[in-house]
Amino acid sequence: MKFTPLACATILACAVAPVLNAGVALPSATMSSLTVPMGQDSQIVKIKNDKEKGPKKAKKEKHKKDKHGKKEKKHKKKHEKQAKKLEKKLEKHDKVKVKVKRSREDRSRISSEILEVRAPEGRDMSVLLGAVPLALLGSQIAFADVPEDKRLTYRNCPPGLAKMDPPCVPPGLAKKGVTYEEWVAYDDEQLDAIYLDQRTEFLDRDIVIGDERGPDRDVVVEEDANRYVVLDDDTLLLSSEQIASLYDLRPAPAGKRYALIDGQPVLLTQEDYTSLLRINELARVENLPEGVRIAPTAALTQNELRQTYKLPQLETGNNYAVVNGELVTLQDSAFETLQLIRIARAIF
C-alpha cells in the first residue's frame, strides 16, 4: 500500500500521542522534529527552563556563600585586630605600672622616714596654710601679676599646673580649648561639677577596696570592665591619721579620710578615696636614690621636682606628682583628675 506524506504524518502523530500522555521522555532529536500538541507546551517549557536556571541558581548560591565567607573573614580579621590592639594596650599599661608590693612593716618604716623630711623654704604647705587661707584665682587677676611665692595659696592653680600652657588649666581641659581666663572664672560649684564628671571614669568598674580572698592582698588591675578590680588599701604610704598630725588637723569625720596631693591635704569621701586609689594604681612609682625621701608637705612645680630630686625630663603626656608622700608619674588623664581632687577637696 502506498502512503501519501499526509497519511504518514497522521499515523506517526497517532503513535506518539499515547507515549507523551504517559510521561515518557523521547530523545531530543525526536522532540525537535515534532509539533508539540496543545496543552503540552507549558510542561516542556518548564522542564527546559529548570535546566537553564539550574546552573545559574547554583552559581548564585555559590556567590552568596563566597560573599558570606568574605564577610566572616573580614569580621574575624577586625576582631583579631581589636584583640591585638587591646593586648598592646595592656602591655603598655603593664610597662607603666611597676608598683612594688610592700609589707606592712616596710610601709610603716618608710612612712616614718617620710614624716621627718622637711619641705624647702617657701614651699611648705603646712606653714602656708597656717598663715594664709586658700583662695580661688579670679578672672580679674592676671597670672603674671601673682608673685611666685603667693601662687601656692590659690587652690585652683596647683603647683603641678602652674607652669603649664595655659597656666593652671588641667591638660585635658586645655586641649578642649579652656583658657586661663575661663578656668579662673569658675566658682566652687563649677569646679566641683567638673571633678565629679571626671571622677566617674574611675568609678564605672566594679571595685573592691582591699582583698578579702587572702592575706597576700593581691592587687588586680583589669582592663575588662566585666571583672572586678581589687584595690589594695595599703598602696598609699601615709595614713589619714598621719596626715592629720602633719597639718594639725582634727580627726577626719566618720566615713571620710585625709589624703595628701602635692603638699595639699584633702578630705575625701569613700568614692573620692576610691578614685584616688584607682589613680594611684595607674601610676608609676619613681625610683629615687637609696635613702632619699620626698618631703610630704612640699608643693613643687614639675621643674622644681626635677631639679630637687634630679629627675629626668618626662615625655609629653606624662607628669610628676606626689601622692601621700610618694613620687609617681601619671599620664595626662589620671594626672588631671588627681589635680581636680586637690582643687575640689582641698582643706582650707
State pTM to two decimals: 0.67
Nearest Cα to 293, choosing from 304, 309, 310, 277? 309
C-alpha cell at 291: 635613702
Across 120-146, b (16+ Cβ under 10 Å) vs e yields eeebbbbebbeeeebebbeeeeebeeb
The pLDDT confidence band at residue 66, using thresholds 50, 70 and 90, is low
Taking phi first (over 0 means left), then psi (-120 to 50 degrees means alpha), and beta for anything else, what does residue 92 get?
A: alpha
* Residue 199, Cβ density class (10 Å: 0-12 exposed, 13-18 middle, ≥19 buried): buried
Nearest Cα to 327, choosing from 346, 345, 347, 312? 312
pLDDT digits (tens, 9 = 90+) for 197-250: 999 988 875 555 554 443 334 344 444 444 445 555 667 899 999 999 999 999
The DSSP letter of residue 197 is: H
Residue 41 is predicted with a pLDDT of 47
How many Å apart are CA 144 and CA 158, to the nearest integer? 15
pLDDT digits (tens, 9 = 90+) for 91-120: 444 444 445 567 888 888 999 999 999 999
Which residues contact residue 16 at a Cβ distance below 8 angstroms, ignoring those fewer than 6 apart? 26, 34
Which of the residue ranges 50-64, 92-106, 293-307 has the most confident prediction, judged by mean pLDDT?
Answer: 293-307
The pLDDT confidence band at residue 307, using thresholds 50, 70 and 90, is very high
Region 252-279: mean pLDDT is 95
Contact 192, 266 (CB under 8 A): no
Which residues contact residue 15 at a Cβ distance below 8 angstroms, ignoring those fewer than 6 apart? none
The pLDDT confidence band at residue 79, using thresholds 50, 70 and 90, is low
pLDDT digits (tens, 9 = 90+) for 150-177: 999 999 999 999 999 999 999 999 999 9
Other Cβ atoms within 10 Å of 208 Cβ, number: 13
Across 50-76, b (16+ Cβ under 10 Å) vs e yields eeeeeeeeeeeeeeeeeeeeeeeeeee
How many Å apart are CA 87 and CA 95, to the nearest integer? 12
